Structure 1
Amino acid sequence: MAVSTTVTEAPLPGAYRTRIGVELKEFFRQREGVTFTVLFPVVLLLGLGSVLDYDIGAGVDFSQYFMAGVIAAGIVGASLQNLGIYIASERADGTLKMLRGTPMPASAYFVGKVVQVLAVAAVTIVLLLVVGVLVYDIDLPSAADWVTFLWVALLGITACTLLGIAVSSLAPNRRSASALISPAALLLEFVSGVFMPFGNLPHWLQVVSSFFPVKWMAQGMRSVFLPDALQVDEPAGSWELDRVAIVLAVWCVLGLVLCVRTFRWQDRGDR
C-alpha cells in the first residue's frame, strides 16, 4: 500500500522517477529474486565451466564458448522470466489493479519495469564478464565487437522484455507463472545452443529454435566471443549478423503486439 501512496502523491513527471526507484528497490531487496536472476547464471558459469573443460575447436575452450550462451541466458532471466513471474504475481495480489486506480500514468509502470530489466541485465552481464576473466581467463571482445555486443544485447533485452510482459497474462498467480515460464525458458535456452555447441543439436531442434529470439541472441553473442574460424560450425556457415538483427527486430514488434493485445491490469474473474 505504501507504493501506491508514494506514486499518487508524486507530480506527474516525478511519477516515472518514483516508479523506477520503487522497481529497483523492490527487486534488489528480494534475496530470492537476486539469487535466482543475477547469481544463477554466475553459478552456471562456474559449475559448467569447471566440469566441461574441453576444446571446442580453433583453440577455444568450453568456457570461452559458454560465455556467449550464459550471457544470453542471463538476459532471458532478467527479462522474460523475471517479468513474466513478477507481473503475474502483482496481478494476482491486486497490486496492478491498485496502481491502475492511482493518478500514475500506465506508461510509468512499464518504464519502471524496463529500467529494472536493463539494470538487472547490466549487473548480471558485468558479473559474468568479471568471473569469466578472473576465473577462466576469458578473452574479451575487441573494440569493434563491443558494438555488436551492444546492439545484440539491446535487441535481445527488448524482445525478451516484451515477451515477458505478454506471457505474464498466461498464469493466474506467481506460483503457476514460475512453474510455466521457468521450465519453458530453460528449454528454450537448451535448444538455442546456450549449454552446448549449437551444431551438436539435432537438425530438427536447430530448425525449431530458429523461430525464437534466444537462438539468434546466442548466435550474435557467439560472433562476439568466438573467433571467425568457428563460424563454419553455424548452420549457415557464418554468423548471419544481418539475419540476427532482422529476427530480433521482428520479435520486438511481435512482442509489442502481444503486449497490447494480452496485457491485463486485473484477473479475468475480477470485476
Structure 2
Amino acid sequence: MSQTATRPARPAPPRAPAAPPSAFRVGLSRAAFETRLFFREKDAVIFTFSFPIVLLVIFGSIFSQELEGTGLNVSQLYVAGLIGSATMTGFQNLGIGIAMDRDDGTLKRLAGTPMPPAAYFAGKALNTLLVSAVQVVILLAIGVAMFELELPSALSDWLTFAWVFVLGVLGASLLGVAVSSLPRSGKSASAVIAMPFVVLQFISGVFIPTADLPDWLDRIASFFPLKWMCQGFRSVFLGDAGATLEATGSYELDRVALVLGAWVVGGLVLCLTTFRWKGRRDG
C-alpha cells in the first residue's frame, strides 16, 4: 500500500515592514500634542488670551478720540496694532518654550527618537498658528463690538489679511526658534526674549502711530517684521483713510510682502545655523 508523502506547508512570505509615517503626519500629531499641552496650562492660557484683550480695552477706552480728517479713531488703530502683536506671538512663545524644552532635556530626548526633527518644529508652528488665529478673532470681535471697527467687505482685503497673517506667523515662529538658543537656561528665557518683544511693540506701531515716532526709531523698527505686520493689517481694517496716518502716506504693501518674505527666508537660515538640541551644560 503506497503512501503519499505529505509535503510540508510553505512558510508564509514575510510581511514587508510598515512604512514609517510621513513627517507631515508626525508633525500634525505633534501639533495636536502641543495644543493639548498648551490648554492644560490654565494659567498660561488665561494670560495668553486675556493680556491683549485687557490692553485693547484699556488703551481703546482711554484713547478714543477721533483722528482728524480720517473718520477713524485711535481705538481702531489699537485693534490693528494688537492684531499684529498677536500674529507675532510665536516669537515669544516659541523662543521661551523651546529654551525650556532644551533646559529640561526634552529636546535631547526627542533627538534620540525616530521622530523627524521637522515634525517637532511643525508641531510648534501649527500650535502657534492656532493660538494666534484665536487671539485675532477675539480682538476683531472686541473691535467690532466696542470700538466701531468695520470689517472689510472686499475679497482683496481678506486676501491681504491672509498673506500678511501667514507670512507674519511663519517669520515670527522661525525667529522664535532662532532666538531660543540665546538664553543660557530656561529660567532666563523670559527675561532675554520678552524684553525685546515689548520694545518692538512700542516702536512698531502697536501702541504709538509710526508717524508720531522719531525717524531714528522708525528706521530701527523697519528692520523687524512687526512694523510691517501692523502696517499690513492697518491697510485691511483702516482702509484708504488710514493711509494718511502712515509716515509715507501709503501702506506700501509691496514692501510689506518683501520684508516679511525676507524674514521667513532669513529666519530659516538662522534656525539652520544656530539651533542647538543640547543645552550649554550638556556640551
Tell me the secondary structure at the aligned position of residue 67 of structure 2.
strand
TM-superposed deviation, 1:227: 2.9
Per the alignment, residue 226 of structure 2 pairs with 214
Per the alignment, residue 148 of structure 2 pairs with 137
Contact 1:56 1:65 in 2 (8 A): no
1:115-130 alignment, distance < 5 Å: 115-130=126-141
Question: Deviation per CA, 1:121-145, whole angstroms, max 9, x where unpaired?
Answer: 1111111111111222311122221
Per the alignment, residue 111 of structure 2 pairs with 100
Structure 1 counterpart of 2:72, one-letter code: V
TM-superposed deviation, 1:236: 1.9
Per the alignment, residue 159 of structure 1 pairs with 171
For 2:43 and 2:192, locate their aligned partners in 1 and report how far apart those are by CA, in whole Å.
18
For 1:205 and 1:106, locate their aligned partners in 2 and report how far apart those are by CA, in whole Å.
38
TM-superposed deviation, 1:268: 2.3
Per the alignment, residue 101 of structure 2 pairs with 90
Structure showing greater radius of gyration is 2
Structure 1 counterpart of 2:172, one-letter code: C
TM-superposed deviation, 1:215: 0.6
Contact 1:20 1:113 in 2 (8 A): yes
For 2:233 and 2:28, locate their aligned partners in 1 and report how far apart those are by CA, in whole Å.
32
Contact 1:97 1:266 in 2 (8 A): yes
For 1:15 and 1:172, locate their aligned partners in 2 and report how far apart those are by CA, in whole Å.
30
For 2:241 and 2:59, locate their aligned partners in 1 and report how far apart those are by CA, in whole Å.
24
Contact 2:234 2:242 in 1 (8 A): no
Structure 2 counterpart of 1:159, one-letter code: G
TM-superposed deviation, 1:66: 1.1
Contact 1:37 1:82 in 2 (8 A): no
Question: Deviation per CA, 1:183-223, whole angstroms, max 9, x where unpaired?
Answer: 11010111001102111111111111111111111111111
1:105-254 alignment, distance < 5 Å: 105-143=116-154, 144-254=156-266
For 1:33 and 1:80, locate their aligned partners in 2 and report how far apart those are by CA, in whole Å.
16
For 2:53 and 2:189, locate their aligned partners in 1 and report how far apart those are by CA, in whole Å.
23
For 1:106 and 1:227, locate their aligned partners in 2 and report how far apart those are by CA, in whole Å.
42
For 1:176 and 1:35, locate their aligned partners in 2 and report how far apart those are by CA, in whole Å.
22
TM-superposed deviation, 1:104: 1.2
Relative distance call for 1:20 and 1:123 in structure 2 (3 A) is same
Higher helix share: 1
Per the alignment, residue 3 of structure 1 pairs with none
TM-superposed deviation, 1:173: 2.6
TM-superposed deviation, 1:31: 2.1
Which 4+ residue blocks in structure 1 deviate beyond 6 angstroms? none
Structure 2 counterpart of 1:140, one-letter code: L
Structure 2: state its 5+ residue gaps.
Answer: 1-19
For 2:181 and 2:166, locate their aligned partners in 1 and report how far apart those are by CA, in whole Å.
24
Moved more, 223-232 or 94-103: 223-232
Tell me the secondary structure at the aligned position of residue 196 of structure 2.
helix
Per the alignment, residue 50 of structure 1 pairs with 61
Relative distance call for 1:84 and 1:227 in structure 2 (3 A) is same
Structure 2 counterpart of 1:52, one-letter code: F
For 2:33 and 2:184, locate their aligned partners in 1 and report how far apart those are by CA, in whole Å.
23
For 2:171 and 2:92, locate their aligned partners in 1 and report how far apart those are by CA, in whole Å.
12
**How many pairs are equivalent?**
261
Moved more, 119-128 or 174-183: 174-183
Contact 2:28 2:122 in 1 (8 A): no
Moved more, 12-21 or 213-222: 12-21
TM-superposed deviation, 1:261: 0.5
In percent, how many aligned pairs have the same letter?
50
Structure 2 counterpart of 1:20, one-letter code: A
The alignment's TM-score, normalised by the length of structure 1, stands at 0.92
Per the alignment, residue 8 of structure 1 pairs with none
TM-superposed deviation, 1:43: 1.3
Tell me the secondary structure at the aligned position of residue 24 of structure 1.
helix
Moved more, 224-233 or 65-74: 224-233
Considering only aligned residues, what root-mean-square deviation do their CA atoms show, in Å? 1.5
The counterpart of 2:49, out of the listed 26, 38, 54, is 38
Tell me the secondary structure at the aligned position of residue 282 of structure 2.
coil
Tell me the secondary structure at the aligned position of residue 233 of structure 1.
coil
